[in-house]
A and B are shown apart, each in its own frame.
Chain A
């Protein structure tokens, strides 16, 4: 049964990928990319990688198509084709694909207990993480403690991406912006407004659950941050950007993006202050397990704050750009 499921999912993935590359309609490509994300998430799920599946569902199927759609709203949905480029790309893809396939021929069978990945570092994570860190989700233990520095790096990557968008689109002088009207903000879209209003509180609540339940089940700051941001983005889609700006201050969101990284970095420094190494949480509380648990909660909070703020920054900057683009023909 699982085999059939895998084959079905993988063939769907293949078809979607080929169609994304094939189609000239960027709108279709973006929607398909969302579907691709959802299919990958299901595939990861069937492989038992619940945390990865969750992230992929939130990011690949959730927010990234949304951001790509807002880009399309600015740039249009038609692709300018360049056949020569396509040939070069096809050649590169062909070579890379061949290399990938040859490499996977010697890949250990999926789930094989003899695979090197299961014999070297993983056994300690599985056997000892409960004793050393005291939380049931091994994935969270690895991400937030054993390899916490990588995760700090990932948060900084997201922060950098948000700043990059801000530096390109967000700070073009002090142009007086036209008020932004979402087409859906009109009273005729009553159903959307009602459904939106009903959905937003559970979305935010769910985000908080994912945030604080990350030690026990799949989830954590990354997924929670994305889901939390989606709540606000939905609100702005339905009620317009100015409605959101009444409740969230843009400067505050930008500051929060930095604050999240700072929380993570400072918790690490507390390790040094407590006489241990950077990002060693053991000294944060009475005994080392409690310290680890406390440290993980704190850094996950930092992750969640930065991810949510950056997602909101990116979306708001895109929408503001869109509104400015629309404002230009009015002016002329």
Chain B
């Protein structure tokens, strides 16, 4: 069975989705989804262990060898991303039951969990595959289910946000498809490794350059790279709380994975850096994302929206890491991929608890929360500290590597700008802490003081919070995996 791990990773949630649809019992479909997610997490842990011990795993679907058939190819990079996605998904979905019951009502639960499983399977499929067209197919699965999940938000604005995202996301997906079409036209293959071998012979053609441009822009739309981020704040702030937690921690990460996979593995880092001024482009756009995202976040009164803009900024950091394009830079990106998933999942889950008890999450509404919901507010405070990058939290580690990478490659001003960006994030995190601990609750709320969030929601939130602290101190797992992935990708020894 161990040889089938790569395909089980994707096929478990993929087949579970229609089964969940047939179940038709809300409570049962939640439990079922949790179990499937947990199983996927176990599979990903086994895969990661296997990759770290024995190197790349290949799996030919249908028994047809690549490039004739589709192959799954798991190296340290995608094993790492699979691990992150399944871990976050398990924590988020374990917390989901009460929040989803409250926000969606009884009739839409089964459909919700089915769509969730589809989205989960789609994201895993994108990451696991070694075939570019297969990437597109699973991108469609995850995108369509994401649009539907966002549209299930309880506010009617959710519909408009989902539609906005649908239009931009479809443009992005179409660009990626056009790019893949050109690649096939010039090489006759869809397999990633095969493409990497055959592209250098035709890399001077405008068709390949156009393919690169289309794929790059398409992925950056999905990634919400500044200035293509316009869909993200609306989508995140209007989606159901659980969906926001899941998407913020996984969807953009998978898009970022795709960016690394295409620029480094398929096109090759040398081509990618020389075809377009990618290095300066990524660093500049990344910095712009950090500063614009953080600055706008400071002025938000809706906390979900504030954290959504903060995501734009955090994506900026990850892009800067790719822009530096050294082993340490890439490693910083991959570390931040993990740490950001941990902190955003913790923060948005805590907000799901706030929304559950108070019915909204604006700065006004969380006043005095430190007293009425100490555990939830504590989670927000620690998650926020990790977001800023305070020492002893996970966020510190990735910022540290990013600064080290920029100093290593002689970008001194960049290091200073990264620190300045963190200070901006400290401002909006402080606004949260101030409202929660130092402000008096609104007069109207005093009458009926909200209790603590339900335990089912609080425990997964705190597991994530503790993970933020744990990986801020004990860093051997993320550091060793990301180091292996980064050196492998940039041509060092695997």
Contacts and interface: CB of A to CB of B under 8 A. Distances in A.
B490 interface: no
B141 A160 contact: yes
Interface in B103-150: 105, 107-108, 111-112, 114-115, 118, 121, 125, 131, 133-134, 137-138, 140-141, 144-145, 147-148
Interface stretch (B10-18, B43-51, B262-270, B467-475): B10-18
B326 to A, nearest CB: 31
A281 B63 CA distance: 9
A266 B15 contact: yes
Nearest to A105: B206
Contacts of B7: 272, 277-278
A255 B22 contact: yes
A198 interface: no
A192 interface: no
A171 B206 contact: no
Given A147-B70, A150-B70, A106 B111 contact: no
Interface string B202-218: 10011101110110000
Interface string B298-333: 000000000000000000000000000000000000
Contact of B63 (A254, A258, A271): A271
Interface in B1-57: 4, 7, 11, 14-15, 17-19, 21-22
B188 A116 contact: yes
Nearest to A160: B144
A105 B67 CA distance: 27
Interface stretch (B179-187, B366-374, B398-406): B179-187
Contact of B185 (A116, A149, A265, A279): A116
A254 B17 CA distance: 13
Contact of A167 (B108, B138, B141, B202): B108
A157 B121 CA distance: 11
Nearest to B206: A102
Contact of B111 (A120, A122, A171): A171
Q: Is the interface of A mostly helix, strand, loop or mixed?
A: helix
A262 B18 contact: yes
Output the residue of A125, A171, A255 with the most chain B CB within 10 A. A171
Interface residues of B, number: 63
A100 B178 contact: yes
Interface residues of A, number: 63
B68 A146 contact: yes
A258 B18 contact: yes
A279 B147 CA distance: 29
A96 B213 CA distance: 10
A125 B68 contact: yes
A177 B11 CA distance: 39
A222 B62 CA distance: 20
A120 B115 contact: no
Contacts of B60: 277
Nearest to B108: A171
Interface in A158-197: 159-161, 163-164, 166-168, 171-174
Interface string A257-291: 11101100110110110001111111000000000
Interface in A15-45: none
A152 to B, nearest CB: 8
A171 B111 CA distance: 9
A120 B304 CA distance: 50
Contact of A280 (B62, B137, B187): B62
A164 B61 CA distance: 28
B458 to A, nearest CB: 28
Given A153-B138, A160-B115, A258 B22 contact: yes
A161 B122 CA distance: 13
B64 A99 contact: no
Nearest to B64: A146
Interface string B170-201: 00000100100010111111000000001000
A1 interface: no
Nearest to A265: B15
B134 A149 contact: yes
B151 A167 contact: yes
B59 interface: yes
A256 B7 CA distance: 25
B227 interface: no
10 contacts: A100-B210, A121-B189, A145-B64, A148-B61, A159-B118, A160-B144, A168-B159, A255-B21, A257-B18, A259-B18
Interface of A: 96, 99-100, 102-108, 115-122, 124-125, 145-150, 152-154, 156-157, 159-161, 163-164, 166-168, 171-174, 254-255, 257-259, 261-262, 265-266, 268-269, 271-272, 276-282
Given A96-B175, A103-B206, A161-B144, 4 more contacts: A116-B187, A118-B188, A147-B133, A277-B59
- Give the top 7 A-B pairs by smallest Cβ distance, nearest first: A120-B188, A153-B137, A103-B210, A280-B63, A164-B148, A258-B18, A116-B188
Interface of B: 4, 7, 11, 14-15, 17-19, 21-22, 59-64, 67-70, 105, 107-108, 111-112, 114-115, 118, 121, 125, 131, 133-134, 137-138, 140-141, 144-145, 147-148, 151-152, 159, 175, 178, 182, 184-189, 198, 202, 205-207, 209-211, 213-214
